[in-house]
Amino acid sequence: MTAREPELRVGPEPERGLLLAVLPKGADAEVELAELRELARTAGVEPVAETIQRRAHPDPRRYVGKGKLEELKAAYADHGAEVLLVDDELDPVQQRSLEDALSARVVDRTQLILDIFAQHATSAEGKLQVELAQLEYNLPRMRGMWKHLERQAGGGGTASVGGGVGTRGPGESQLESDRRMANRRIALLRRRLRDVGAHRATRRKARTRSEIPTVALAGYTNVGKSTLLNALTGAEVSVENRLFETLDPTTRTFEHLGKRYLVTDTVGFIRRLPTQLVEGFASTLEETLVADLVLHVVDGSLSEEVLAEQIESVETVLAEIGAGEIPVELVVNKVDLLDLSARRRVANRFPGSLEISAATGEGIDELKARIAERFADRFDEVRLLVPYDEGRVLSDLYALGAPIDERTDTDEGVVIRARLPHREVRRFAPYLVAGIEEQQAS
Do 361 and 250 belong together in one domain? yes
Q: Is 41 in contact with 55 (CB distance < 8 Å)?
A: no
Q: Write down which residue in 162, 193, 224 finishes a domain.
A: 193
Do 57 and 136 belong together in one domain? no
Dihedral of CA 67/71/77/83: which sign?
Answer: negative
- Residue 21 φ/ψ region, left for φ over 0, alpha for ψ in the -120 to 50 degree band, beta for the rest: beta
Q: Give the range of the structural domain holding residue 102, as residue numbers without chain letter.
A: 15-119
- Taking the C-alpha atoms of residue 216 and residue 328, their distance in angstroms, rounded to an integer, is 10
Would 205 be classed as within a structural domain? Answer: no
> Which helix (H) or strand (E) segment is 379 a member of?
strand 379-386
Do 158 and 108 belong together in one domain? no
Do 85 and 131 belong together in one domain? no
Q: Which CATH number characterizes residue 115's domain?
A: 3.40.50.11060
Do 302 and 337 belong together in one domain? yes
Do 229 and 365 belong together in one domain? yes
Would 201 be classed as within a structural domain? Answer: no
- Taking the C-alpha atoms of residue 5 and residue 231, their distance in angstroms, rounded to an integer, is 38
Do 147 and 250 belong together in one domain? no
Do 184 and 324 belong together in one domain? no
Do 226 and 351 belong together in one domain? yes
First-to-final CA distance of the chain:
74
Question: What values do phi and psi take at 177, rounded to 5?
Answer: -65, -45
- Per residue of the chain (442 residues), give pLDDT as tens: 444 455 555 456 889 999 999 999 988 888 788 889 988 988 889 999 999 999 999 999 999 999 999 999 999 999 999 999 999 999 989 999 999 999 999 999 988 988 888 877 767 777 888 888 888 888 877 755 544 344 334 344 444 444 444 444 444 577 677 778 888 888 888 888 777 766 666 555 554 555 678 899 988 888 999 899 999 998 776 555 555 555 566 788 998 887 788 998 877 777 777 666 666 555 566 667 678 899 999 999 998 888 998 898 888 878 877 777 889 999 999 999 999 999 999 999 999 999 999 999 999 999 999 999 988 777 778 899 999 998 888 888 877 665 677 889 998 899 988 877 777 788 888 999 864 444 444 4
Q: Is 418 in contact with 394 (CB distance < 8 Å)?
A: no
Would 172 be classed as within a structural domain? Answer: yes
Q: Which CATH number characterizes residue 303's domain?
A: 3.40.50.300
Q: Write down which residue in 193, 221, 249 finishes a domain.
A: 193
Q: Write down which residue in 102, 119, 136 finishes a domain.
A: 119
Would 95 be classed as within a structural domain? Answer: yes
Give CA 396 to chain center in angstroms: 36
Do 158 and 259 belong together in one domain? no
Would 198 be classed as within a structural domain? Answer: no
Q: Which CATH number characterizes residue 433's domain?
A: 3.30.70.240
Would 7 be classed as within a structural domain? Answer: no
> Global pTM?
0.66
Q: Which residues pair with 264 in a beta bridge?
A: 216, 251
Would 9 be classed as within a structural domain? Answer: no
Query: How many domains does the chain divide into?
Result: 4
Would 156 be classed as within a structural domain? Answer: yes
Do 274 and 320 belong together in one domain? yes
Do 43 and 128 belong together in one domain? no
Q: Which residues contact 398 (CB under 8 A, 6 or more apart)?
A: 404
